[in-house]
Amino acid sequence: MSGPGEAATSGASDSSTEAPAERRFDYDRTVALSDGVFAIALTLLVLNIGVPVLGSGHEGVLGQRLLDHGEEYFSYALGFAVIGLLWVRHHTFFREIDHIDRRLTVMNLVYLGLIAFLPYPTRILGLYGNQPAAVIMYATVTATVSIVARIQTVHALRAGLLTEAGCREVRRRENWAIVPAVFVVSIPIALASPRAALYCWSLLFILPFLQRRLRAR
């Protein structure tokens, strides 16, 4: 017959052996849900491209009708590139996570909610890319996504959720502000010229490249 001390010791032993498995379970479930939301959001983007409807006797104009959807092709390519970039950063962040707490779980759900919403402003941009409101809506949502991602990172750092290598990587990384900054700056530009605001977004891919070149030097 075991005494209370032995039972307590046994309970502590069981807890210590179960904790890593529970942490693994929480991590795997969170990553699986995240990857699923990203995959669905990327897939939904193609539904933003309309299919030409041809009346009887107009089959010969299909090529021109396809070209008429140029803005929608552009919004699809932009949306895929942006969501793809966000997925890479999310994947890198969770690769550096040691364990997950409830607050990070809630933050991640907010983040995924915004990711799932992104195909909608992408659709609006494809249909009304020449309107300031369409550009501002897309820029606002995407900037918000990036800011929520940063809040997640700061919380993980302060709460000790990162591995040692992850802490070093987060502190070394300094270009997190590029994405929200580019989109925020494009908002007043869109009021004057929606097309110029769209060109401004190309900085998302140019600035990180220039930053890496400067570091290499």
Give DSSP secondary structure letters for 19-49: HHHHHHHHHHHHHHHHHHHHHHHHHHGGGGS
pLDDT at site 59 = 64
Gap between the Cα atoms of 132 and 138, Å rounded: 10
Give the distance from CA 68 to its chain's centroid: 29
pLDDT at site 215 = 63
pTM of this prediction? 0.80
Count of structural domains within the chain: 1
pLDDT digits (tens), the chain, 217 positions:
445 454 444 443 443 344 666 677 788 899 999 999 999 999 999 988 888 777 666 666 778 778 888 888 989 998 999 999 899 989 989 999 988 989 999 999 999 999 999 999 999 998 998 999 999 999 999 999 999 999 999 999 999 998 888 888 777 766 678 888 999 999 999 999 999 998 888 887 787 767 666 666 6
Residue with tokens 């009304």: 128
pLDDT at site 135 = 94
pLDDT at site 156 = 92
pLDDT at site 116 = 96
Do 93 and 149 touch, CB atoms closer than 8 A? yes
The domain containing residue 40 runs over which residues?
4-216
Q: How many CB atoms lie within 10 A of CB 165?
A: 11
Residue 47, both tokens: 């539904």
pLDDT at site 125 = 92
pLDDT at site 64 = 79
pLDDT at site 58 = 64
CA distances from 190 to 129, 150, 169, 182, 196 (A): 10, 25, 35, 12, 7
**Residue-level length of the chain:** 217
- 146, amino acid identity: S
- 65, amino acid identity: R
